[in-house]
Structure 1
Amino acid sequence: MYNIIMYAIQFGIAVGSIFNEKLRKMWRGEQEAVQVLRDKLEPDARYVWFHAASLGEFEQGRPLIEQIRKDYPQYKILLTFFSPSGYEVRKNYEGADIITYLPIDTVGNARRFLRTVRPVMAFFIKYEFWYNYLHILQHRGIPAYSVSSIFRPDQIFFKWYGSSYGRVLRCFTRFFVQNEESKELLGRLGISDTMVVGDTRFDRVLQIKEASKQLPLVEKFVNGGAADRKKVFVAGSSWQPDEEIFLKYFNEHEDWKLIIAPHVIGEDHLKTILSLIRDKKVVRYTQGTEEDVAEADVLIIDCFGLLSSIYHYGDVAYVGGGFGVGIHNVLEAAVWDMPVLFGPNNKHFAEAQGLLRDGGGFEIFDLESFSLLMNRFAADKEYRNACGCLAGAYVQSLAGATNKVLSNVKL
């Protein structure tokens, strides 16, 4: 059944590529993957293979890639993606020697791919369970590790009808999971080679913090134009439902400056944001001068790649997505020692739940709940700073997964 599904997906991508640019990139990349390997592989090199579905999983695997590259230069790094949203953004990443798409998991594709690359070991990040690739790796005695994986009782592996597919889990040499529940669930399937190491994303956000950029235009916005520096609210990866709440609040309050880095940077969305703002001076980052931003109340970040550094300038952060499919990366904000607010769709995000539990994160449901929190943060600096310290301490307390993984892998 699994192989039938894989062939159906492959067929669907092929047909969809005629009409959809994203699918076209995926189809072309998958078709060219083996040839890319043949062109770029060094015959005598030993390759460690990392597979990430998309950009988020890549960021989880990145600390491992870079630590191996630093400590074990005798290995080459092969990095594969399934999604164009990962490959297209990181296809020029300098931390890997070869970057390509991973062909869909049919028996023929898996044999051809692994016959070409012959990795010495493989790392699959988080939710990657490719049945044919993993069975061939196991058959050939090549270690395969699942990193930052997390399991829940509602996943197919733990249902009566998923037992056949669940056999793929036995192909892994070892699981490095995020929590005790995952270890317990795997134990119910008779899988014991499991270690709770946490999430490598905590290591990644600490790396990002250390490498953060100084942004003179943002500094001028934050510090210029007033005798007393106003408090700064940073809204990261926001969507319209998020913006409709916090902009209603800030339209009525003069004691904050606001930085908005929306998730979607398109003219239609930017116009919508501008239409929601009342009686404020607004500047777009790519169009602003130091003189403009010094007098502005709102700075809209209309380009990519700056958000993780922009959080550095905030007093309170809001991370969007919680009124839609799910919140974005709360750790990038929390690492800067400030309170982090987010919407209600956060229950399947362990890091959000951890921040809520430890007092550094706050769930909002509507304008009223948002206003109550923001009024307290505005009036009580000591409370605001204490919550921020709890957020930063939460990130620090869970760092170290990368070293735990590498100390239990035979390199």
Structure 2
Amino acid sequence: MRYLYTFAMFLVTPLLVLRLLARGVRSRPYHRRWLERFGIFDTPGITGSLWVHAVSVGEVNAAEPLIKALRRDYPNAPLVITTVTPTGTARVHQLFGDSVFHVYLPYDLPFSVNRFLKRIRPRLALIVETEIWPNLYFACRRRGIPLMIVNARLSERSMRGYKPLRSLARSALRCVQLIAAQSRTDAARYRLLGADPEQVLVTGNMKFDMPIPQDAVAAGAAMREHWGPRRPVWMAASTHEGEELAVLEAHLKVLKRFPDALLVLAPRHPERFRLVENAARSLGFTVATRSVDGVPLPVHQVCVIDAMGQLMPFFAATDVAFVGGSLVPIGGHNVLEPAALSVPVLVGPYTFNFEEITDSLIEQGGAERVPDADQLGPDVLQLLLDGGKREQMGQAAQRVFERERGAVQRIMQLIDTLLQE
């Protein structure tokens, strides 16, 4: 099965390169550093590194407290961070600058993987959330590199996706020393996929340990003062194609009741920034952007956040937060950022990527589910009209966030044990 998989990877590699080139038309960073995806890059004499792989922005944000703990406890070990997307790369540079070595994860081809591992020479590999690459995993076992999946999650949808390759996934998972699952459900799914039950532990979700920027609350308060402290403000974060129009139509409903209301709209991907801005203008909204206007003025009805890593201060400045990727079958995004700041949360029907976190917030009263796009406007409006309910939901969300903290400490104890062994 592994040989068939590798043969298939060789066959699709030209298509992957064409996809890189095509995506580069919309986003120039895809054109850069593409040789790294074949394990070709220069290294500054790295040996004995601690390697963390985080696919994109969400995984990098989740890994932030773990990476900081690794830097604190192992200050002499080189830290290597790999990503797959340019947005994840930008987030790594924003958070850690030159204190870590960043490179793109190579395609799962034997020669690319071997070249990559030979250059970074890791003493430990940490894979964040859900990334099962058979050739990479087998190469780590062959080289004696301890491999650990941290903050591991596996949705029902991902389980179905692995079904045709279940025997191969099982063999790959047997190369892993430890799987630190986010929840009991995730742990059970990894066992069903073929992981050794004794190697699967439940440690919780590292995203509950994410640091809240010290200046986020102060910056949010300053923005509220700038555009009017009594002004109704709601935010739609990490939106995807098919959601922005629904959000803008919801804001039209809000404006009928609150003519001075402000919508803060943050598309998930940079290549959509300009498209979303133009869509808002075409509907007649007065639009500000983060890059041009900085902070919106009282005259603006919509503010498009056309920058990465800028959400926390805006969450702190809003009354209600809708988290995107959930009105369309993307699976939802991180609901913990607004929850950490005591902001009530709205989500759509599709939250399978953050199933247990979202369900917990809803059960505890910190979040509500919007059944469809048509109901988004009325639900936002209801919360903007009811300050008491907003306060109760915000407090409940913050309690859930605080209650679940501690996963990074538990994972660091497991890492310490692996490295000692």
TM interval, short-chain normalised:
0.7 to 0.9
Q: Return closer, same or farther for 1:112/1:234 CA change in 2, 3 Å cut-off.
A: closer
Residue 184 of structure 1: CA displacement? 2.5
Distance 2:312 2:401 in 1: 15
Worse overlay, 175-184 or 83-92: 83-92
Residue 57 of structure 1: CA displacement? 1.6
Q: Return closer, same or farther for 1:136/1:268 CA change in 2, 3 Å cut-off.
A: closer
Question: Out of 140, 143, 147, which is 2:146 matched to?
Answer: 143
> Which structure is higher in helix share?
2
Instruction: Output the amino acid matched with 1:106.
Output: L
TM-score, normalised relative to structure 1? 0.85
Write the deviation string for residues 319-350 of structure 1: whole angstroms up to 9, x where unpaired: 22322223332211111112111222224422
Worse overlay, 105-114 or 65-74: 105-114
Assess if the C-alpha contact under 8 Å between 2:235 and 2:264 holds in 1.
Answer: yes
Pair 1:354 & 2:357 matched: no
Instruction: Output the amino acid matched with 1:343.
Output: G
Q: Return closer, same or farther for 1:96/1:123 CA change in 2, 3 Å cut-off.
A: farther
- Structure 2 counterpart of 1:99: 102
SS of the equivalent of 1:408 reads helix
Distance 1:15 1:287 in 2: 34
- Structure 2 counterpart of 1:7: 10
Distance 1:223 1:91 in 2: 34
- Structure 2 counterpart of 1:342: 347
Question: Out of 66, 69, 74, which is 1:67 matched to?
Answer: 69
SS of the equivalent of 1:73 reads coil
- Structure 1 counterpart of 2:198: 192
The structure whose RCO (Cα within 8 Å, separation 6+) is larger is 2
Residue 119 of structure 1: CA displacement? 0.9
SS of the equivalent of 1:94 reads helix
SS of the equivalent of 1:105 reads coil
Distance 2:171 2:368 in 1: 39
CA RMSD of aligned residues (A): 2.9
Q: Which of these two proteins has the greater Rg computed from alpha carbons?
A: 1
SS of the equivalent of 1:8 reads helix
Distance 1:94 1:120 in 2: 22
Residue 64 of structure 1: CA displacement? 1.0
- Structure 2 counterpart of 1:231: 232
Residue 180 of structure 1: CA displacement? 0.7
Residue 388 of structure 1: CA displacement? 1.0
Assess if the C-alpha contact under 8 Å between 2:289 and 2:306 holds in 1.
Answer: no
Instruction: Output the amino acid matched with 1:391.
Output: A
Q: Return closer, same or farther for 1:360/1:276 CA change in 2, 3 Å cut-off.
A: farther
Assess if the C-alpha contact under 8 Å between 2:320 and 2:345 holds in 1.
Answer: yes
Residue 271 of structure 1: CA displacement? 2.8
Distance 1:112 1:145 in 2: 21
Q: What are the within-5 Å matches in structure 2 for residues 43-192 of structure 1?
A: 45-91=47-93, 93-94=96-97, 96-152=99-155, 155=159, 159=163, 162-188=166-192, 189=194, 190-192=196-198
Assess if the C-alpha contact under 8 Å between 2:58 and 2:334 holds in 1.
Answer: no
Distance 1:102 1:85 in 2: 14
Distance 1:375 1:251 in 2: 9
Aligned length: 396
- Structure 1 counterpart of 2:311: 307
SS of the equivalent of 1:35 reads coil
Q: Return closer, same or farther for 1:369/1:5 CA change in 2, 3 Å cut-off.
A: same
Write the deviation string for residues 115-165 of structure 1: whole angstroms up to 9, x where unpaired: 332211110111111212211222232211101111345515874752233
Q: Return closer, same or farther for 1:374/1:109 CA change in 2, 3 Å cut-off.
A: closer
Assess if the C-alpha contact under 8 Å between 1:236 and 1:317 holds in 2.
Answer: yes
Distance 1:338 1:289 in 2: 22
Q: Return closer, same or farther for 1:368/1:156 CA change in 2, 3 Å cut-off.
A: closer
Assess if the C-alpha contact under 8 Å between 1:170 and 1:191 holds in 2.
Answer: no
SS of the equivalent of 1:7 reads helix
- Structure 1 counterpart of 2:281: 274
Q: What are the within-5 Å matches in structure 2 for residues 249-268 of structure 1?
A: 249-254=253-258, 257-263=261-267, 266-268=273-275
Instruction: Output the amino acid matched with 1:80.
Output: T
Q: Return closer, same or farther for 1:103/1:369 CA change in 2, 3 Å cut-off.
A: closer
Distance 1:360 1:24 in 2: 42
Assess if the C-alpha contact under 8 Å between 2:35 and 2:41 holds in 1.
Answer: no
SS of the equivalent of 2:78 reads strand
SS of the equivalent of 1:86 reads helix
Pair 1:386 & 2:398 matched: no
Distance 1:246 1:78 in 2: 43
Worse overlay, 398-407 or 312-321: 312-321
Assess if the C-alpha contact under 8 Å between 2:221 and 2:316 holds in 1.
Answer: no
Write the deviation string for residues 354-383 of structure 1: whole angstroms up to 9, x where unpaired: 222221111113466445534543443222
Assess if the C-alpha contact under 8 Å between 1:157 and 1:163 holds in 2.
Answer: no
Residue 285 of structure 1: CA displacement? 4.5
TM-score, normalised relative to structure 2? 0.83
Worse overlay, 76-85 or 22-31: 22-31
Distance 2:293 2:112 in 1: 50
Residue 91 of structure 1: CA displacement? 4.6
Assess if the C-alpha contact under 8 Å between 1:66 and 1:95 holds in 2.
Answer: no
- Structure 2 counterpart of 1:202: 208
Instruction: Output the amino acid matched with 1:307.
Output: L
SS of the equivalent of 1:127 reads coil
Assess if the C-alpha contact under 8 Å between 2:251 and 2:377 holds in 1.
Answer: no
Assess if the C-alpha contact under 8 Å between 1:230 and 1:256 holds in 2.
Answer: yes
Q: Return closer, same or farther for 1:360/1:245 CA change in 2, 3 Å cut-off.
A: farther
Q: What are the within-5 Å matches in structure 2 for residues 234-245 of structure 1?
A: 234-238=235-239, 239-245=243-249
